[in-house]
Amino acid sequence: MNMLQLFVSHTPLWVWALLVFLITRGVAAMKPGEVSLGRLAVVPALFTAWGLWSISARYGASWQAWALWLVGIAVGAGIGWMLLRRSTLTPNRATGKLWRGADYSLLPLLLVTFAVKYGFESALAMSPTLAGDIGFRAAYLLLSGGFTGIFIGKYLRYLAAWRRATPGNDLQVSG
C-alpha cells in the first residue's frame, strides 16, 4: 500500500465531510450576496473548536502551548482583518444580513488551512513524539492559531461593519 492510500484509508469520514463542507463554503463566498452574521461565524467557530480540541488533547493545560496558539491567532486576526480592508460591506438591518462582495480569498485559505492542519495531524498520528519536539510544536501551534486567526479577523471585520451601521439605517461601510 503506498503512502497516499495509507493516509486516505486511515482518515476518518468526518474529515472528508469537513473538507467537502469547506469547499462548498469557499465556492459560495465567490458570489456576492447577503449573508447572516451567524453564517459568517461558522468557519471561524469551526476552526476555533478544532484548535481547542487538538491542543487540549495533545498539550492539556500547558500554558506555553496555549500562548503560542493565541499568538498565532492574534497575528492571523490582523491578517484576516486586512484581507477585507477594501471590501464593501453593507448591513441591511431589515433582513438582518450583511451584503458583501465576492470573497475570492476564502476558498484558497480554506484549502491551505485544511491541508496544513491535515498534514500536522497526520504527522502527529504517525509519530506522536513530534508533539514534544520544540520546533514542530511551535510550527504546529503558531500555524494552527494563525490560520484560525485569519478567519476570526475576517469575521471581526464583518462584525465591525455591522456595528458601524446606524440602527434603522442601511449604511455602506468600506474597509
- pLDDT the model gives residue 82: 95
Task: Work out the pLDDT band at 171, boundaries 50, 70, 90.
Answer: very low
Estimate to the nearest angstrom the gap between the alpha carbon of 113 and the chain centroid.
7
- pLDDT the model gives residue 128: 87
Estimate to the nearest angstrom the gap between the alpha carbon of 35 and the chain centroid.
17
Task: Work out the pLDDT band at 4, boundaries 50, 70, 90.
Answer: low
The average pLDDT across 138-160 equals 95
Cell of 163: 456595528
Residue 113: partners with Cβ closer than 8 Å, 6 or more residues away: 47, 147, 150, 151
Other Cβ atoms closer than 10 A to 170:
13
Distances from the Cα of 106 to the Cαs of 6, 22, 43, 82, 154, in angstroms?
A: 29, 9, 10, 13, 10
Query: pLDDT tens for residues 77-127?
Result: 999 999 998 888 899 888 889 999 999 999 999 999 999 998 888 888 888
- pLDDT the model gives residue 167: 63
CB 88, CB 172: distance < 8 Å? yes
Predicted confidence (pLDDT) at residue 170 exceeds the cutoff of 60: no
- pLDDT the model gives residue 126: 86
- pLDDT the model gives residue 81: 96
Query: pLDDT tens for residues 31-88?
Result: 999 999 999 999 999 999 999 998 998 888 899 999 999 999 999 999 999 999 888 8
